[in-house]
Structure formats: structure tokens, C-alpha cells
Structure 1
Amino acid sequence: MAAHAAVPASRRATGSSTLGWALPATLGVIYGFYAAFIEKSGAPVTWGLFWLGLISAIVLAGAVYGLHRVRRTLPRELHAAAWGGLVGIAVGFLYSLSDVSILSATVLGLIVGGSVTVGAFYLYYTHEDAAGRPAPY
């Protein structure tokens, strides 16, 4: 039998830990600033840009936090599709802010989302035990 080191309770990932909210908050702030920066395109800063950045940051941070919280309850296929959908929508939205056609933004979002779905599924499938339970990460 192989001996495995127990993970101390202080190092277990919980929803209330700092890492549980710090990563989504950081991603949200970066995403919000970038969305406002793309929309600004040389114009002066306005309240509309502020609200665009703030709402974009809150929505993305909330979605990442929520998806991270339910990760153990979803089967690997749905979990991978959820990450792919989130990333595809986020990238498509950012690309649409650069004054391109909605068709090209949609196609780019679908390509990126599909790629993330395939990559996430591969990651989840290869990191599970023989019984199909995900490895702790």
C-alpha cells in the first residue's frame, strides 16, 4: 500500500478561503479594465466606460467564483463545457467591443470556447482515479 500525506485542514481549498475569492476578483478586475480600455479607443474616460468595466468585472468574477464553487458537483463533461462556454463568451464579448462584426465575434468565441472545452475535458479525464472521481486539485 502506498502511503499518502494528508492535506492539513488549513491548506484545503474551501469556498471561504482567500484563494476562493482572490483569483476570481483579480480576473474580474483585469477583465473589466481591459473591456473599458478596448471600448475607450482613444476617447476620454466617461461614466459609461466606468460602468462597462465595473459590470464586466462583477459578472466575470461572479461566474468564475460560481463555477469554481460547483466544480465537484458537475460531471467532467458538463464542467468542461461550462468553462468553455464562460471563456468563449468572455472572449467573444471583448472582441465585439473592438468594432468588428457580430458574426466574427461569435465565430471567434465559438472557436475559443470549443478549444477550452476540449482542453478542459482532456484535463479532467486524465486527472481522475479508476472509479471516475476527480483528483483533488
Structure 2
Amino acid sequence: MATQAPTRQPARHPLSPQGLLELLERHHIPPHIVAVPLLLGILYGVYASYIARGGGPASFGQLALALISGALFALLLFALLRWQHRLMPELRAAAWGVLVGGSMGFMYSLTDHSVLLSSGIGLSFAVGTVIVTFYAFYTHAP
């Protein structure tokens, strides 16, 4: 009586799409918690480079600005999305305010305005974000 030989799954490379999905599943991370920060980080970096370019020719400095600012924004957003549920609603709202206010203040500073005006813009975005997220967290709390 012939039996079928067991088939082995080929080893997947850890950076292949299947390997990444297995890694996320192993660490209990939903894929959207990685996809959203990655997409927004790319958009943030591209827009930062666009603002810094100012209509002139592209340079390696602008490429470095785009890569660093986009990667940092994506990393901070991933960390906030991953661990925000462990925070109290007040701290969660403050964390969102710091992220949004800091990122908007940095973007405004790329337009060559004063540091005081950029800080004011960032602070106003931060206060608005804290108010909106604090309200949302308390009205949708279980």
C-alpha cells in the first residue's frame, strides 16, 4: 500500500509578503496597524520634500529630509496606534495632540516662517486635536 510522502512547505523569506504576514500574526498585530502608518509616513515624507523644494531642483538633502521625516512620523504613529489602548483617555488624547501638533509645526517650519509662528501653529493644532480626541474617547467609552 503506497502512502503519499509528506510535503514540506518551502521556507519563506522573512521579507516576503507571506513572511511579513506570518510575523504580524505571530505577534498579534493587525495588518492595518502597519499599513496605515506606512502609507501616511510615505505621504508625510513626500510632502515635506515638496515643501522644502520650493519649486527648485531636487537635491539629496531633500531626499534625506523626506526619508527621515517620513520614517520618524510612521514610527511614532505605529507606536501610538499599537499602544494607545493601554493609556488613560487623557494621556491618549495628549499623545495624539503631541503627534499632530508636532508634525504640523514641523511642516509649517519648512516654509521658512519664524520659529514662534511655527510653534504657534503646532500648538493650535495640538490643542484642537486634544479637545476633539478627548471628546471622542469619552463619548465612545464602554
TM-score by length of 2: 0.79
SS of aligned partner of 1:71:
helix
Q: Tell me the number of residue pairs that the alignment of Structure 1 and Structure 2 aligns.
A: 116
- 2:65 pairs with 38, 48, 52, which one? 52
Structure possessing the higher radius of gyration over alpha carbons: 2
In the alignment, what sits opposite 1:68? 81
Matched, 1:82 2:92: no
Query: What is the identity, as a one-letter code, of the residue corresponding to 1:111?
Result: S
Which structure has greater helix proportion?
2
Judged with a 3 Å threshold, the aligned counterparts in structure 2 of structure 1 residues 86 and 64 are, in CA distance, closer, same or farther, namely same
- Measured after TM superposition, the shift of residue 106 of structure 1 is 0.2
2:49 maps to which of 15, 20, 36: 36
Amino acid at match of 1:55: I
| Mapping for residues 1-137 of structure 1, pairs under 5 Å | 16-129=29-142
- C-alpha separation in 1, matches of 2:100 and 2:77: 10
Percent identical residues? 39
> What is the deviation of 1:15?
5.5
TM-score, scaled to structure 1 = 0.82
Contact 1:92 1:105 in 2 (8 A): yes
Gaps of 5+ in 1: 1-13, 130-137
